[in-house]
Amino acid sequence: MSNGIKKPAHLDDVVFKESKAYQNSNEWSWVNPKHGKFEHPANYYESALEDWHTFDAFDSDQVCDVVVIGGGLLGASAALHLSEQGVDTILVEKNRIGSSASGRNGGQLTPGLARWEAEEMIKRFSYEDAKKLWHFTSTEAMSLIDQISEKYDVELARKRGHITAAVHEGHLIALTQGADVRKYLGENNTKVMGEYELKELIKSDLYKGGLVDDLGGHIQPLALNRALVHGFCKNGGQVFEQTEVLSISERADGIYVKTKTGTIKARKSVVIAVHHNAFKLLPEKKQTAIPFHTYIAVTAPLEVPLTELLPQDHPVYDTQLQIDYYRGVSKNRLLFGGQGTGTSWSVGRINQYLLGRANKVFPQLKNVEMDFCWSGVSDLTMNGATDNRKFGEKYPIYAVHGWSGHGVAQTVRIGKAIADDFSGLNTDYAMLTKIQHSDILFGRLLAPLAIPMSKGWYGVTGMLNPGKMVSF
């Protein structure tokens, strides 16, 4: 494998084009027809980057120390950090690098372990354990992104600062309590603002105040994914795209990873980094997560400057049951996401929904059009934390899923924790495996019913107690 894989390179704005990834039946992408007709258009992130390397498919039997299955942020991070430790590693991806959730998410950097924030951790663990877990998912996760960017000299469009905007006065209580726990755990990067102070940062009348977090921020997630793979290849790692793993089997002399065109023998370990599809490859068939669909759109360049909406360029998500999240991106565009569904909604329905929400938040916007819209698939666990597993009789097999729609920075941090665990450097990953998860009987089959039923229930309880903060 050549080490000359170029760094991700950003465009001034976008080039409307066909995606280099293969179309996934669970996901769709749309581009405003005025920009051309595309069978499978690239989403905003892919359109905002120069065309990048495409890797060959795996076509012959090989042997290595570790096989990483999945070329998203988790797999790419695990592979990168293994390669930094001198471990002979092969990374396989069934589609293209960053073609699924890792290259289709909102790009916001927020602390926490999926939906677990500091308050949840202190309720469940001792002070020292909660402090360790919180810093793992906050200060360490954010710092690792910066370290990778500096070490491999890659531009990730990294911006600092994040806002959680309260749609009800009562939600400020929960946000204040969360900030208090963070300070108690030794991390003081937050400030609670009232309605009028927050209007200096978000030019909207919709919010009653909010939490400003200087630790978080936003990033170009596909650029981050490609940067991790760039670093892995620079360290001598091998990458194969269009390579779907059919099965894994542990034998006396290693773990055999079978694909359609050959078998890779991993002498020491395997990392399963394919999130909601992981259960197909797990010897442990316990289903702890169910899939759900999410949606994002990016506007055409706005008629008003973004600074008149978000003066300091903060990304935002709010505290309503079905959250809105948004941020400014290149050439005066607004990225706007929201809605989570058990079945995939149509392009027309989602465009109408997200455009309506954008106009609700910023009624001063006029003549807004969407240039991009796309769907993605994430997965939910019952308790809201990621399910981190380590198993295998003789050789360790790692698997992580259940991101619940959150965790760009934490995904990268857990990838490093897997590599560190494999090399015996620390117990960070062991800490994550101690979190208990419930099996969801018929979980994947019931997702189309379970998700709307859950949202309906939370909606009713929200109407009865609007000051209680519950977000989906």
Query: What's the pLDDT at 26?
Result: 83
pLDDT tens per residue, range 200-242:
999 999 999 999 999 999 999 999 999 999 999 999 999 999 9
Average pLDDT for 391-417:
93
Query: What's the pLDDT at 35?
Result: 98
Question: Alpha-carbon dihedral of residues 313, 318, 324, 328, nearest 10 degrees?
Answer: 0
Q: Is the pLDDT of residue 255 over 50?
A: yes
Higher pLDDT, 378 or 217: 217
Average pLDDT for 177-199:
97
Query: What's the pLDDT at 72?
Result: 96
Question: Alpha-carbon dihedral of residues 395, 396, 401, 406, nearest 10 degrees?
Answer: -150
Average pLDDT for 308-319:
97
The rounded percent of the chain whose pLDDT value lies above 70 is 91
Average pLDDT for 247-255:
95
Average pLDDT for 429-458:
70
Average pLDDT score, the chain: 92
| Interatomic CA distance for residues 100 and 27, integer angstroms | 8
Average pLDDT for 408-415:
97
Query: What's the pLDDT at 1?
Result: 37
> Count of CB atoms within 10 A of residue 129's CB?
14
Q: Is the pLDDT of residue 456 over 60?
A: no
pLDDT level of residue 439 (50, 70, 90 thresholds):
confident
| Interatomic CA distance for residues 400 and 441, integer angstroms | 19
Domains and CATH numbers, the chain: 41-105+222-288+384-433 (3.50.50.60), 160-216+289-381+441-471 (3.30.9.10)
pLDDT level of residue 143 (50, 70, 90 thresholds):
very high
Average pLDDT for 79-92:
98
pLDDT tens per residue, range 12-50:
999 999 999 999 888 999 999 999 999 999 999 999 999
Query: What's the pLDDT at 379?
Result: 87
The answer to whether 326 and 164 are in contact (CB under 8 A) is no
| Cβ partners under 8 Å of residue 300, min gap 6 | 32, 333, 368, 369, 370, 371
Query: What's the pLDDT at 291?
Result: 85
Q: Is the pLDDT of residue 437 over 50?
A: yes
Query: What's the pLDDT at 277?
Result: 59
Query: What's the pLDDT at 275?
Result: 72
Q: Is the pLDDT of residue 382 over 90?
A: no
* Helical axes 139-151 vs 408-422, angle rounded to 10°: 80
pLDDT tens per residue, range 315-339:
999 999 889 999 999 999 999 999 9
Query: What's the pLDDT at 88?
Result: 98
pLDDT tens per residue, range 293-303:
999 999 999 99
Query: What's the pLDDT at 458?
Result: 47
Query: What's the pLDDT at 25?
Result: 83
Average pLDDT for 143-164:
97
Average pLDDT for 89-111:
96
Q: Is the pLDDT of residue 417 over 80?
A: yes
pLDDT tens per residue, range 269-281:
999 998 755 557 7
